[in-house]
Amino acid sequence: MILGKKIAVVMPAYNAEFTLRRTYEEIPKEIVDDVILVDDASRDRTVDVARELGLHHVVHPKNLGYGGNQKTCYREALDRGADIVIMMHPDYQYTPKLIPAMAGMIASGIYDVVMASRILGRGALRGGMPYYKYVFNRFLTASQNLLMRQKLSEYHTGYRAFSREVLLKLPLLANSNDFIFDNQMVAQAAYFGFRIGEISCPTHYSEDSSSINFSRSVVYGLGVLKVSAIYSLNKLGLLKSGIFRDEAAKLQESFGKSDPSENAQKY
């Protein structure tokens, strides 16, 4: 806990057998109260490793996609009483050692959302980020800041912290189950007026790090620009999209009901 706030770390996992243990071992257990792994029908030993580590884990019987995985992550964390939820990929691309700083920024009431940026500082390329991904990241971020009138250094990190209030307020169930979920979530947080902070984060790319290929990166990039344009139109009152509707489906509405992850098993 930090300042009486229960801290949960959630890890959306898919084929993370070789990096999960190392990621988990660096999580600062002295402040983290709960660690939850959601396995999205991995084809390797990810679930076996989770069991060996004694992790609370949820297993999807079929692959729901990256966004679908995160929806289960946040629902599970809220169900288990988390006040601050930190989402990080279990591929050891990001260091868990930043968890206390990120959680503290929310527990102190300074921010509602904290993003660990690979772009602040000089860690991205030095950590092995492919150059084309770096350029792609910078172009998309500049475009989004222009369209959304924000000043973030990166929108695409897989390492984020949220207050309970944010996760209960955002209409996350209206979002995509694919990779664009991350971007929709940031746009929603900005749209509903939550305070978004950033912290510089070193990164480590390896053969085991999760990534999407070039063609899917292009599809993702086009989706990002579309989300930003829709955000702008909604802010101007020219459009009313589902992901920005205050009355749209929220996570708490599914508490105690059948799990949309198709009978996911909890351990």
pLDDT of residue 48: 97
pLDDT of residue 125: 65
CA distance 56 to 53: 9
φ/ψ (deg, to 5) at 31: -120, -20
Ranges of the chain whose pLDDT falls below 70: 121-128, 130, 205-213, 255-263
Q: Where are the domains of the chain?
A: 7-250
CATH class, domain 7-250, is alpha beta
DSSP element (H, E) containing 66: helix 66-79
- Report the interhelical angle of 181-191 vs 66-79 (nearest 10°): 50
Closest CA to 212 of 184, 178, 187: 178
Give pTM, 2 decimals: 0.90
pLDDT of residue 163: 98
Q: 3-state class of 200 per DSSP? A: strand
DSSP element (H, E) containing 9: strand 7-13
DSSP element (H, E) containing 160: strand 159-163
